[in-house]
A and B are shown apart, each in its own frame.
Chain A
Amino acid sequence: MGKIVAVHSYKGGTGKTSLSVNLAATLAKHGKKVCLFDLDFRAPSLFAVLKSENSDCWLNDYLNGTCSIDKVLINVSDRIQGNENFYVALANPATEAIRDMSAKDRKWEMRALGKLLSLRNSLLRDQKFDYLIFDTSPGLQYSSINAIVTADLVVVATTSDSSDVNGTSRMLKELYSLFEKKTGLVLNKVLDTALLSNKTEMKARVKNIYQVPMLGLVPCFCEVLRAEGNLIFAQEKPNHPFTKILNDIAKKIDSNEVN
């Protein structure tokens, strides 16, 4: 059976969406049947990144129980050459929808957790998806914790920012360990060239701070920032170092190297 991978972080702006989109695209390029979920209901962004047409059914509607998951999934295989199995489930970017989602109560969140958990049967088992990638909201809030509980593996994106390091390590110790989640860390936007040249030392340092294995070390690439979120690097720049790092991360995830 396939896997659910949630991409999460303590703070915003760590590159979760960029990692999610490119990880999903990389797995799709490797021939996997993939669906990318926008679970950041407070700041939906995949709608803009994938320039998908207006949807009649959003992920919000699926969680509200007003529409089936099949109606939410949009085939975006035209964005990935040679793969017809790349789908996306979008969060509604309308202000009213964002307001509605932020006012949900605990009962609704419990049902939403049930809906996310049932994707394991409907998409992984019945429709033979290999990967569901959840792009989540940062920090500790219902939608992101629901995603973490549902996932088989959580990829945590973090930067070298001291408040991010502090918050991420606390979050890993106090939240992730309680749920006994398989977790891999991606250190993103690394500027320190000395550390980049000594990856072994960097991995040991990360392991020492966070107590979880490192999945990847991504330098701060100006080209990625310059693309302003409009490029799927894994598809459009196949020889770029960012794409190669994503390839390595995807291979590690696919071969179950994260324990």
Chain B
Amino acid sequence: MNNYQCVVRLNKPSMFSSTKVHIKNTRGKPLTREEIFNKKPLHVLEKIRENLERLNEKMEIMIEIQKHGNKELQPLSDAPLDVMTLLSMPDHLRKTAMTICRCGRATADEVAQQTSRARAVESAYLNQLVIMGYLKKERQGRKAYFYADRDNQGDH
């Protein structure tokens, strides 16, 4: 039974310092120290880790946005991930997108193995491609899978 919720709240990029991790029970009240350590502590830690990973991904995206500016992140209206789109992409994103095209479905780790770049870098590029609307992201447990949704993408 899942009796606990872990909520990581990220307010604004400029407010990283105020990021807080709250562990609450299902009634919405913060857990006491006793509750955390006596009842399923491993499960709670798992939740914290999972949410910290998500937080990390969000931070990576923000760092990328700051590095490259916002112009690359504007999705073209109704633009699927076709070869002409791949051609017009900046080099660093094309490499990532091509790897997903070849693999079909992959985690940031798997993409990083193919491109010989760092996992954190690939995670940022993959999330950037998700924001641009070219890739879809799906979570399975602690792993996040990225793929090009060829059956539904671009249909509006």
Cβ contacts under 8 Å, B81 to chain A: 110
CB distance from A4 to the nearest CB of B (A): 11
A141-170, CB < 8 A from B: 142, 145-146, 149
Interface mask (B53-87 → A, CB under 8 Å = 1, otherwise 0): 00000000000000000000000000111111111
Contact A149 B86 (CB under 8 A): yes
Name B94's closest neighbour in chain A (CB-CB).
A178
A180-219, CB < 8 A from B: 180
Cβ contacts under 8 Å, B34 to chain A: none
Contact B150 A111 (CB under 8 A): yes
CB within 8 A of B148: which of A106, A114, A145? A114
CB within 8 A of A146: which of B83, B150, B155? B83
Contact B83 A145 (CB under 8 A): yes
B12 in the interface, Cβ–Cβ < 8 Å?
A: no
CB within 8 A of A110: which of B91, B94, B154? B154
B104 in the interface, Cβ–Cβ < 8 Å?
A: yes
Name the residue among B82, B91, B95, B98 with the largest chain A CB count within 10 angstroms. B82
Q: Could you say which interface size class chain A belongs to?
A: 10 to 19
Name A143's closest neighbour in chain B (CB-CB).
B83
Contact A106 B101 (CB under 8 A): no
Cβ contacts under 8 Å, A145 to chain B: 83-84, 87
Knowing A110-B153, A178-B94, say if A117 contacts B102 (CB, 8 Å): yes
Contact B80 A106 (CB under 8 A): yes
Interface mask (A109-129 → B, CB under 8 Å = 1, otherwise 0): 111011001100000000000
Contact A179 B98 (CB under 8 A): yes
Name B81's closest neighbour in chain A (CB-CB).
A110
Q: Name B's A-contacting residues (CB within 8 A).
A: 79-87, 91, 94-95, 98, 101-102, 104, 148, 150-151, 153-155
Q: Name A's B-contacting residues (CB within 8 A).
A: 106-107, 109-111, 113-114, 117-118, 142, 145-146, 149, 175, 178-180
**A–B pairs, 19, beta carbons within 8 Å:** A106-B80, A106-B82, A106-B84, A106-B85, A106-B154, A107-B155, A110-B81, A110-B82, A110-B150, A110-B153, A110-B154, A111-B151, A117-B102, A142-B82, A149-B83, A149-B98, A149-B101, A178-B94, A180-B95
Given A106-B85, A110-B148, A179-B94, 8 further pairs, Cβ under 8 A: A106-B79, A106-B84, A110-B82, A113-B101, A113-B150, A117-B101, A117-B104, A175-B87
